[in-house]
Structures are given as structure tokens and as C-alpha cells.
């Protein structure tokens, strides 16, 4: 079951839960131990340390949840992503250094009984009885039907690595492949310098803008990209930036846009630097290691803004409760 994004809180009888920043997965004990991704790819090869914990599930049990890696009591997606690697030796080393954990938030089957047709409130009751007896590294996500409490969690749990709230209809069955849940995510605005661009695959128009912020030493670091422009504006933006092409934009020794990697395949990631004179206001949902985790959303140009005032200290870094203070 999947979720659709909303910027408003739903009306009705809902359960509210933290949205975890990990890999969505199904844990199975059907005699054979399985850990499957949302697109039904096996994940056990990359997380061998989770085989034994999954084997503790009663035979005929399927748990919907999230795989997370917790570093300094905060979920860390970069460390989790590093586990998807072809080298078995690397996987074993990282499994020992930064072992993964499981966060359970739904129950599809229990000891051979199919629970998918039952309302979420009933599935949650069974899950609440099951997980505490499974031991580490199993964790039960918190859940509340109090909207005000959910809104408090929206802010309070961000410091643990949560990037929003999931709302679930208390009376809903588990509906495979449907966006039957509601995802409310954080969004903040920041003014960034446009340090370069990538040309659209069709040529002659903007594919994406490459964004930067200045650090305390006055170097501009690449921090993410923005690509959501209407087709009618892509040519206009492209021609505007043709006049601003430069030899370099991001600082020497600073973070720069990446090239081809195992995550990008053979995708063309060449880019063109431009003079650091254009400022854009964008919004973002998550930070990861000092950069935007996802593509940002363009809001407006800021010709009134001095590019040198676009510094890293604009970025909000939440503080508060850690991962261990959220789960049970």
C-alpha cells in the first residue's frame, strides 16, 4: 500500500505515524526467510544481519515496515544507501559497522492468518502485541489517532530522521498498489545561487539548474538541483543562461555536481557552469549530509538578493529527540 502527498491534514478518523527515511520493505517468515522491496526485489543480500531477526517472526507472518540505519541516534539515508553494492565484502563490513534496524508499521499476516482485509486499527493491535517480543533490531513505530499529537510529532520527530507524517484511515483494509495513505511532508524555502545547468535531453532548453550556497570560508558548495519547469519556460531560461557561461562556479575543493555512478548508470550528467550572479528561491523537504536529498521546487527569481548572502546558515537543522526516543 502506498501514499499520496498532501500539504494539508486529512479530515476523518485517521492514525498518524512518523514517516521514516529508509527503504520500505516486507519481512516474511514463510518457512523461507524473505526481505523484499516495494518492487518485489530481494534485499536480504544487502542486509544479511536481518535474516536472524526476521526468523523470529511466527511462521506465516508478514510485516510491512522500513529498513533504517541509525548513526548517533538519527536515521542516516546515505549510510543505508551505501549497502546496495555489488561487493559482498563491503556489505559485510558495513553490516558490522552500521547494522540496519527494522521499523514495523503494519501487519499483513500473522501465524498463517491473512489480516489484509481487516481494518488498520485491528492490524495495529496485533502488531502492537507482536513487536515488543521480537527484540532488537525490531522497533515499533508510534501511532496516534489524536490529530494534535500527530501535528506535534510532525515537528518533534524530525530530529530523529523522520521527514513528515503518514495518515492512515483507521477503518481501511490493506490495499495493494493503491495510494490509500496520506503523506504530509516538511517543506522549507531557501535562497540559492544558480551555479550551472544541465541541458534537457531534447537539446536547446533547460533540464535542471544546479544550486549552491556559500560556506563560512566564502566557497560556494553544490547543494542540489531544481528541474520542475513548465516546457514553455525551459527555452527562455536556457537562452538566458547561455549569456552567463563561465569557466567555473563552485569553489575549488568544494562539493561539485557528481558524474556517472552506480546510482545513475549511463545517464548524461555533464553540466555547464555559469557566473554566480543569479539567485532563486526554492523549497526543499529534506537535508542529507549538507545537501538537498530530493529535487527542489522552484518558487521565484530573486534579483533583489545579493548572491554572497546565500549562505549555508539558512538551512534549518532540527534538534530534539533521537530515534531511540521515538520507537518502542
Task: Yes or no: say if 190 and 314 are a contact pair by the CB < 8 Å rule.
Answer: yes
Same domain, 197 and 155: no
Look up the domain containing 206 and give its range.
Answer: 188-314
Where does a domain end: 156, 185, 214? 185
Same domain, 18 and 167: yes
Q: Is 201 a catalytic residue?
A: no
DSSP at 173: -
| Spatial separation of the C-alpha atoms in residues 130 and 141, rounded to whole Å | 12
CA-based nearest residue to 323, from 132, 99, 141, 54: 141
Beta strand extents in the chain (DSSP E only): 2-6, 14-18, 23-30, 32-37, 61-71, 74-75, 100-110, 113-114, 138-140, 164-169, 179-185, 188-199, 206-214, 220-226, 272-273, 279-284, 287-288, 291-292, 297-301
Where does a domain end: 164, 185, 206? 185
Establish if 324 belongs to a structural domain.
no
Tell me, what's the pLDDT at 264? 46
Expressed in angstroms, the distance from the first to the final Cα of the chain is 23
Same domain, 104 and 236: no
Number of domains forming the structure of the chain: 2
Same domain, 176 and 244: no
Same domain, 242 and 161: no
C-alpha triplet 19, 3, 174: angle, nearest 5°:
100
Same domain, 276 and 139: no
**307 Cβ contact list (under 8 Å, min separation 6):** 193, 276, 277, 278, 279
Q: How far is CA 198 from the centre of its chain?
A: 23
Q: For strand 138-140 and strand 100-110, is the pairing parallel, antiparallel, or unpaired?
A: parallel
Same domain, 49 and 197: no
Task: Yes or no: say if 47 and 79 are a contact pair by the CB < 8 Å rule.
Answer: no
Establish if 178 belongs to a structural domain.
yes
Tell me, what's the pLDDT at 311? 92
Query: 280-310 b/e with 16+ CB inside 10 Å = b?
Result: bbbebbbbbeebbbeebebeeebeebebeeb
The SS3 of residue 274 is strand
Same domain, 171 and 230: no
Same domain, 98 and 177: yes
Tell me, what's the pLDDT at 99? 96
* pLDDT per residue rounded down to tens, the chain (328 residues): 888 988 889 988 999 999 998 999 999 999 899 999 988 899 999 999 999 999 999 999 999 999 999 999 999 988 998 898 889 999 999 999 999 999 999 999 999 999 999 999 999 999 999 999 999 999 999 999 999 999 999 999 999 989 899 999 999 999 987 888 999 988 889 999 999 999 998 889 999 999 999 988 889 999 999 988 888 899 999 999 999 999 988 877 777 886 444 444 455 568 999 999 999 999 888 777 778 877 789 999 999 899 999 998 888 777 889 999 999 8
Same domain, 76 and 181: yes
| Spatial separation of the C-alpha atoms in residues 223 and 290, rounded to whole Å | 7
CATH number of the domain at 257, please: 2.40.50.140
Establish if 135 belongs to a structural domain.
yes
Cis before residue 137, ω within 30 degrees of 0?
Answer: yes
Beta strand extents in 133-255 (DSSP E only): 138-140, 164-169, 179-185, 188-199, 206-214, 220-226
Tell me, what's the pLDDT at 260? 44
DSSP at 296: B
| Spatial separation of the C-alpha atoms in residues 196 and 235, rounded to whole Å | 15
Q: How far is CA 85 from the centre of its chain?
A: 19
Which member of 19, 178, 185, 267 is catalytic? 19
| Spatial separation of the C-alpha atoms in residues 182 and 2, rounded to whole Å | 9
| Spatial separation of the C-alpha atoms in residues 166 and 228, rounded to whole Å | 25
Establish if 319 belongs to a structural domain.
no
pTM: 0.77
Same domain, 175 and 273: no
Same domain, 222 and 81: no
Establish if 13 belongs to a structural domain.
yes
Task: Yes or no: say if 148 and 69 are a contact pair by the CB < 8 Å rule.
Answer: no
CATH number of the domain at 131, please: 3.30.470.30
Establish if 68 belongs to a structural domain.
yes
Establish if 146 belongs to a structural domain.
yes
C-alpha torsion angle, residues 262, 263, 266, 268 (rounded to 10): -130
Establish if 323 belongs to a structural domain.
no
Where does a domain end: 126, 158, 185? 185
What percentage of the chain's residues is helix, strand, coil (to nearest 5)? 20, 35, 45
Amino acid at each position: 500500500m502506498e501514499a499520496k502527498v498532501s500539504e494539508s491534514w486529512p479530515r476523518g478518523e485517521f492514525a498518524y505515524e512518523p514517516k521514516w527515511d529508509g527503504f520500505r520493505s516486507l519481512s516474511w517468515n514463510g518457512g523461507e526467510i524473505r526481505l523484499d522491496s516495494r518492487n518485489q526485489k530481494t534485499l536480504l543480500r544487502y542486509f544479511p544481519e536481518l535474516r536472524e531477526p526476521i526468523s523470529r517472526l511466527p511462521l506465516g507472518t508478514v510485516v510491512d515496515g522500513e529498513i533504517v540505519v541509525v548513526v548517533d541516534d538519527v536515521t542516516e539515508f546515505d549510510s543505508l544507501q551505501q549497502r546496495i553494492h555489488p561487493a559482498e565484502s563491503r556489505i559485510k563490513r558495513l553490516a558490522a559497522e552500521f547494522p540496519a534496524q527494522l521499523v514495523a508499521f503494519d501487519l499483513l499476516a500473522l501465524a498463517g492468518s491473512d489480516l489484509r482485509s481487516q481494518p488498520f486499527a485491528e492490524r495495529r493491535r496485533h502488531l502492537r502485541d507482536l513487536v515488543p517480543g521480537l527484540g532488537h533490531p525490531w522497533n515499533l513505530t508510534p501511532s496516534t489517532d489524536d490529530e494534535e499529537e500527530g501535528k506535534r510529532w510532525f515537528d518533534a520527530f524530525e530530529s530523529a530522521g523522520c521527514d513528515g507524517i503518514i495518515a492512515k484511515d483507521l477503518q481501511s483494509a490493506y490495499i495493494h498498489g493503491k495510494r490509500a495513505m496520506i503523506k504530509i511532508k516538511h517543506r522549507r524555502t531557501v535562497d540559492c545561487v544558480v551555479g550551472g545547468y544541465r541541458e534537457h535531453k531534447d537539446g536547446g532548453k533547460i533540464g535542471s539548474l544546479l544550486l549552491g550556497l556559500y560556506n563560512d570560508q566564502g566557497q560556494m558548495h553544490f547543494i542540489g538541483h531544481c528541474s520542475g519547469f513548465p516546457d514553455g519556460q525551459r527555452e527562455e531560461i536556457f537562452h538566458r543562461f547561455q549569456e552567463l557561461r563561465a569557466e567555473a562556479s563552485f569553489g575549488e575543493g568544494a562539493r561539485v555536481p557528481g558524474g556517472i555512478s552506480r546510482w545513475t548508470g549511463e545517464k548524461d550528467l555533464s553540466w555547464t557552469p555559469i557566473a554566480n550572479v543569479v539567485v532563486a528561491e526554492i523549497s526543499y523537504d529534506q537535508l542529507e549530509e549538507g545537501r538537498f536529498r530530493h529535487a527542489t521546487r522552484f518558487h521565484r527569481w530573486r534579483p533583489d538578493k545579493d548572491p554572497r548572502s546565500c549562505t549555508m546558515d539558512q538551512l534549518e537543522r532540527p534538534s530534539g529527540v533521537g530515534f531511540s526516543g521515538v520507537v518502542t
